[in-house]
Amino acid sequence: SAHHIPAHLKATNTLLDNLNAHHAYLLREKATFYRTHQEIDVLNYQQTQCHYIDVGGVHFHTQAHAHRGDHLLSVLASKEFPMEQDNVGYTFIDRDSTWFSTIL
């Protein structure tokens, strides 16, 4: 004889299956959220490690680790020579910007 499952138990099993599927979905979304949050934290940190330079009216962003060595950027990064920054944080260099991106 066929075993008959009452309708209310079928509905309960369906509800539990749906809840388990939704729970698994939420766990995946939570993992994605935390992974994205970590990536944003890294980007925010890197952004704080940037130098903002205005060369002849053109804005450049460069990461601080690129300033190691004996060149103008290392002097800027060292803060050895005080340089003025505008209200946004760009250090002005009074030079032609045409080749600066290549040099950078």
The Cα–Cα gap between 50 and 64 comes to 5
Residue 13 is predicted with a pLDDT of: 93
Q: What is the pTM of this model?
A: 0.47
Q: Model confidence over 78-103: pLDDT tens digits?
A: 666 667 788 888 888 888 888 888 87
Share of the chain above pLDDT 70, in %: 80
> Is pLDDT larger for residue 36 or for residue 62?
36
> Is pLDDT larger for residue 40 or for residue 5?
40
Residue 38: band (very low, low, confident or very high) from pLDDT cuts 50, 70, 90: very high
Residue 40 CB neighbours (<10 A):
10
Q: Is the pLDDT of residue 12 over 70?
A: yes
Residue 52 pairs in a beta bridge with 61
- The percent helix, strand, coil of the chain (3-state, each to 5) is 55, 15, 30
